[in-house]
Structure 1
Amino acid sequence: MLLGAGTDTITDAYTQDQKFAEFRRLGIDFAEVPLHSAEAAEQVELFRELSARHGLPIASAVVAEFVRLPDLPEQVRPEAVRRIAATAVLAAGLGCDLVLVPVRVKPEEPARAEVYAKAFADVLAATAEHGTLIAAEFVGGALPRDVAELVATVDDPRARLFFDIGNCLYAGADPLTDLRDLLPLVGQVHLKGGPDTPLAAMPLRELAAVLADGGYTGRCALEIESPQGRSSVRDAVSVLRMHGLWQPAEGREGHRVA
């Protein structure tokens, strides 16, 4: 399994260049980057340069502004969706085969899900020629199963669920049960802790078993929000290795060093 790390993982004053260098030193397989439509073109050029400089591919991107669509006035939503779709296309050009769009669905407000579903379909259509997966992540207390239901209503095999084990705890959901049940829809997995639970206290060995038993061939990505800088990523990588969730390339079966 490949492991990535979000460039927001190190949240203190380290530069983007230092972050890419640290990910590469730790043997992390790819970077996950945030993109915002207002400055996406400039961000893409910076990330493309960093990727080339450090030999670290960028495989997934996060377009966080998607989450706000249902809260925008109806008349401005089409332009907002157009910008988000254009950003997803730029992400594909950067090398991303998956774009994460966070959603905050509420069962008591079905109109929110309708707005997300329409926008989801529009972003999928815009990226069709690239084959990009568009993966909805449950945020803000949304339940994994509710977002999975939203994804299932979108008639496109590239519509996927981005499963965040930490967000399960924020929503009061069981990451093991929900991941096992929803695994066929999962495009990528975020590894992090919950509100009061550090990553090391999450059921990582059991999660590894769920992924293996389900034949999961996708990727995982670290999303560690910590002011501790480089050590937070280093410690997270050590925890994942200890629990059998990941090994760097040179430690994987069948790997050959050129």
Structure 2
Amino acid sequence: MIRLKSYSAKSHQGPYLQVNEDGVLVDYANRLAIVMDGFGGAGIGDVCIQKIRDQIKNFYLRASKDPDATMPFYFSIKYLLEGNALINAFHYAHDSMLKENKTKDMSNRGGASVIGVSQSENLLTFVSAGNIFALLSRKGTLDIVLAPDSLQFVSDDRFTGQYSTSPLSGIGLFQELHLNCREIKVQEGDQIVLMTDGVYSRLAYRELRHIISDPDQTSADKINALFKTSCQRGNMDNQTALFLHY
């Protein structure tokens, strides 16, 4: 089995906001990674991502360790046990957040765009709700694993794409949760990149490829370059990026 050799992560409130509603988790022992972009405002989104993170992780660990586990929300023979466990963990967190939001005024409700990555043998399962971007860097190429589920691809003007990253799904956002799922076979030397819209929305794809595929830069340097370029172009949002090295 190809193992995760190292990872680099950075999450920051950005150049303007005082509270970081983004979050990142890497559980090396259980081969699970999560990136979150919370919404709701200070004292809401930042609290939500902690609850969502813990709910997804705890549910996933219970279900993925039990081969006879009953999946309460969803099951598909298309996905591995770990993939089904991660999908169900998302639904569990979503239902929990919806129930909590129903007890609150609209101005106090929150949620998050979330992507989770789990590993079984040499297969990675990606499950995403919302506007997180997932890329695969392999041997000098950069491919999209999961595109953001946002207004970005129905916008009329590609020059103002940073204004069209509102998520079309998310945990706690709408009654129905829409997930994007994909499995890929990881290879030696692969690099998985997960980013929130505070990082990718103001960069063209060719710019992302240029920075991420640069063999002379460390992952920490690449993350700093992505953050810096985005902020130089007017980003005021929270920023999070995670690089997974196999």
Please give the TM-score of this superposition, normalised by the length of structure 2. 0.36
Structure number with the bigger relative contact order (C-alpha 8 A, sep ≥ 6) is 2
Between Structure 1 and Structure 2, which shows a larger proportion of helix residues? 1
Please give the TM-score of this superposition, normalised by the length of structure 1. 0.35
Between Structure 1 and Structure 2, which shows a larger proportion of strand residues? 2
